[in-house]
Amino acid sequence: MDPQLKRGLIEVCVLKVLSAGASYGYKIIKDISPIVEISESTLYPILRRLENSGLLDVYTREHNGRLRKYYRITDAGTGRIAEFLDEWKTVMNVYNFIRGGMGNDKI
């Protein structure tokens, strides 16, 4: 998959995961992995970008005697999910068109 596209999709997946409640790095990876392949090092810049654009915020909490960073979705983040779903209506239309054009048996 195009890396740019993949990053964009993972961003929204992260937001979706967080919409169910605040979470931390390792847990986010576990939750997303079944949907799209992701590593710790790819998640890192994505979390940074989401934080910088105000779609999530970060707080630290003690866990088993060490600190763990938790990520929490913001209202802007929730808005971004809605926006994604709206934008991708067009993409889905195109997908269906192409899929129809190729004939279902070829896919």
Q: Which residues bind another protein (CB under 8 A)?
A: 24-27, 29, 39-42, 44-45, 48, 64, 66-69
Least separation in angstroms between CB 1 and another protein: 15
How crowded is residue 18: how many other Cβ atoms within 10 Å of its Cβ?
23
Least separation in angstroms between CB 36 and another protein: 15
Least separation in angstroms between CB 15 and another protein: 19
Which C-beta is closer to another protein: that of 4 or that of 90? 4
Least separation in angstroms between CB 77 and another protein: 19
* CA–CA distance, 10 with 80 (Å, rounded to integer): 13
Burial of residue 95 (CB within 10 Å: 0-12, 13-18, 19+) is: exposed
Nearest one of 8, 13, 52 to 30, comparing CA atoms:
13
> Any bridge partners for residue 44, and if so which?
none
* CA–CA distance, 32 with 79 (Å, rounded to integer): 20
Which C-beta is closer to another protein: that of 36 or that of 94? 36
Which C-beta is closer to another protein: that of 69 or that of 72? 69
